[in-house]
Amino acid sequence: MKLLLLFIASIIVNNFILSNFLGICPFIGVSKRLDSAVPMGLAVTFVMTMTAVITWIINHLILIKLNMPYLQYVAFILVIATLVQFVEMFLKKFVPGLYRAFGIYLPLITTNCAILGLALLEALKNYNFMESIVFGVGSGLGYTLSMAIMAGIREQMELSNIPKPFQGPAITLITAGILALAFMGFSGMISL
Amino acid sequence: MSILYSALLMGGTGLLFSIFLVIANKTFHVEIDPRISQIEETLPGVNCGGCGYASCASYAEAIVKKGAKLNQCVVADKDTLDALGTIMGTKVVKGEKRIAVVMCRGDRESAKFPGIYRGIKDCAAAIYSGDVAKRCKYGCIGLGSCVSSCPFDAIKISAHGIPVVSLDKCTGCGNCVEACPRGLIELHPVSQKIHVYCKSHDPGAIYKTVCTNACIGCGLCVKAAEADGKSDALKTADNLVIVNYDNYQLKPEYIEKCPTGAINIEQNIIIK
């Protein structure tokens, strides 16, 4: 039951983009079309899940055992960079279709602060192994959800008459703000 | 002491990870024909889709793996094609350049408008929302769906409200052909300069009520061609003159008799 709560909470209540404001740059940059926003979200979900598992192992089996948790930042960045490289090679060899679908998004994720944020939050909140996996999957799906909502809205906005001063980035940021306000309505639903 | 330990730990982990990556790179290495990436670099890289493949990368792959023809890229100039030929070890002959031709002359002066359309700026949307943007049910709506589809910035709406194609910039990729909901844009070789710039099947009376530049199917140009001995160059069908593009043999003399100017020479094309 606690895992289910954590899952739902990480999708909507503690949504990475709209409540934690992490990973904003792909949220603005790649959300122009639905058919590129959703693959980006799925790639993030994939990398988040892998990161959650591996950083938990590194954190608990090495850093905490050796009493050096202050190395978390450096170690996590190292893990994420290596992981993304490895996943890219693996997909290229065994799942070329998926590799082509992810395209440029996979290497882009390396520098996405949402991934590092996930690893650090997971260490901060002291999740156990199962909770870390659920937190990773849930956060990734929450990311995909907000990317998809944003892309859907922006596709509609392209066809509407927006006043000149608001066109382009301005209306996008306003939309993101209103979306974040809407997601604030979920906060307090589940407290973790 | 703790500085030494953390430096050792991080350095060791980094080294371990890099060794791991080196091994992974070797084990997961995919054999790719080096010509594919060479061709991909040579191609223009605009991903216009004019060759019939989704992107320049997939065209490059098709050249090497499936033996696709080298002259299918519509954007490539002579140097690019020569470079492609050197990579593949053959000679490339480029076909004649084709450009987009907009088959409508119903501009603001000649066509009649029932009112002012203020809806979504998209031709297909204008048709779905009651088709009231223009009185002609075959002609160009002029909202610029073709303009936004052009990856080369070669087509724009002129001051008269009709798309004009730039002869220099147009590569003949055909994106606008698919974008036009009325099917008014066609690709034709540059040397073919005379076309019937109308697609309206309405009877001749539309000349007064709908568009003064419409083809009314009077057949004067057909008669001129027949008198010249080219009886299969043009034919009338359903109030419209149709050009035989399989055997293109139009001459400027044929267009002189046209009462509306629907058959004309190099309309809607900017020549610079």
| Degrees, nearest 5: CA angle A124-A129-A134 | 85
Residues B39 and B153 in one domain: no
Q: How many domains does chain B have?
A: 2
Residues B127 and B253 in one domain: yes
CATH number of residue B218's parent domain = 3.30.70.20
Whether A167 has its CB under 8 Å from any CB of chain B: the answer is no
DSSP SS3 for B206: helix
- B61 belongs to a structural domain: yes
**Binding-face residues of B in 8-67 toward A, CB within 8 A:** 9-10, 13-14, 17, 20-21, 24-25, 28-30
- B75 belongs to a structural domain: yes
Can you tell me which residue has the tokens 């991080």?
B10
- A191 belongs to a structural domain: no
What integer pLDDT is reported at residue B233 of this predicted model?
84
Q: Tell me which amino acid residue B71 is.
A: N
Range of the domain at A36: 2-184
What is d(CA A169, CA B20) in angstroms, rounded to the nearest whole number? 42
Beta bridge partners of B191: none
Whether A95 has its CB under 8 Å from any CB of chain B: the answer is no
A to B CB pairs, distance under 8 Å: 45
Q: Do A74 and B10 touch (CB under 8 A)?
A: yes
Q: Are B42 and B84 in contact (CB under 8 A)?
A: yes
Token representation of residue B171: 């590569």
What integer pLDDT is reported at residue B218 of this predicted model?
86
Report the predicted TM-score, pTM, of the whole model to 2 decimal places: 0.67
- A189 belongs to a structural domain: no
Q: How far is A191 from chain B (nearest CA, A)?
A: 36
- B20 belongs to a structural domain: no
Whether B129 has its CB under 8 Å from any CB of chain A: the answer is no
- B28 belongs to a structural domain: no
User: Residue B7: closest CA among chain A residues belongs to which residue?
Assistant: A71
pLDDT lower than 70: segments of chain B: 271-272
Contacts for A180 with CB less than 8 Å, ≥ 6 apart: A18, A19, A21
H/E stretch holding A176 reads helix A169-184
ipTM over 0.90: no
Q: How many domains does chain A have?
A: 1
Range of the domain at B57: 34-88
Residues B115 and B199 in one domain: yes
Q: Between B34-42 and B78-88, two packed helices, what is the crossing angle to 10 degrees?
A: 170
Token representation of residue B271: 């020549």
Residues B60 and B130 in one domain: no
What is d(CA A158, CA B155) in angstroms, rounded to the nearest whole number? 20
What DSSP character marks residue A58?
I
Residues B262 and B132 in one domain: yes
Token representation of residue A65: 């055992």
Q: Are B163 and B170 in contact (CB under 8 A)?
A: no
- B17 belongs to a structural domain: no
Q: Tell me which amino acid residue A63 is.
A: L
DSSP characters for B71-130? GG-SS--HHHHHHHHHHHTS-------EEEEE-----TTTB--SS---S-S-HHHHHHTT
Residues B128 and B257 in one domain: yes
Please tell me which of A45-49, A84-88, A146-150, B106-110 the model is most confident about, judged by mean pLDDT: A146-150
What is d(CA B80, CA B95) in angstroms, rounded to the nearest whole number? 14
- A190 belongs to a structural domain: no
The partner residue sitting opposite B21, judged by closest CB among A79, A82, A159, is: A82
Can you tell me which residue has the tokens 């001459």?
B251
Residues B126 and B53 in one domain: no
CATH number of residue B64's parent domain = 1.10.15.40
H/E stretch holding B196 reads strand B194-196
What is d(CA B189, CA B94) in angstroms, rounded to the nearest whole number? 13
- B26 belongs to a structural domain: no
C-alpha A156 chain-centroid distance: 24
Token representation of residue B265: 């020479």
What integer pLDDT is reported at residue A192 of this predicted model?
61
Residues B160 and B63 in one domain: no
Residues B166 and B81 in one domain: no
Q: Are B264 and B216 in contact (CB under 8 A)?
A: no
- B241 belongs to a structural domain: yes
Q: Between B56-66 and B78-88, two packed helices, what is the crossing angle to 10 degrees?
A: 40
| Percent of chain B residues past pLDDT 90, beyond the cut | 9
Residues B134 and B255 in one domain: yes
Q: Do A159 and B125 touch (CB under 8 A)?
A: yes
What integer pLDDT is reported at residue A71 of this predicted model?
86
Q: Do B5 and A68 touch (CB under 8 A)?
A: yes
- CA dist list (Å): B154 to A118, B91, B94, B129, B157: 46, 30, 21, 28, 10
| Percent of chain A residues past pLDDT 70, beyond the cut | 98
Render pLDDT for B99-152 as a digit per residue (tens, 0 to 9): 899 999 888 888 888 878 887 888 888 888 877 778 888 889 888 889 988 888
- B211 belongs to a structural domain: yes
Residues B133 and B232 in one domain: yes
H/E stretch holding B185 reads strand B185-189
Residues B246 and B121 in one domain: yes
Whether B124 has its CB under 8 Å from any CB of chain A: the answer is no
Render pLDDT for A8-52 as a digit per residue (tens, 0 to 9): 888 888 888 888 888 888 888 888 888 888 888 888 898 899 899
**Nearest in space to A43 (alpha carbons), one of A53, A51, A33, A54:** A51
Q: Is the pLDDT of residue A189 over 80?
A: no
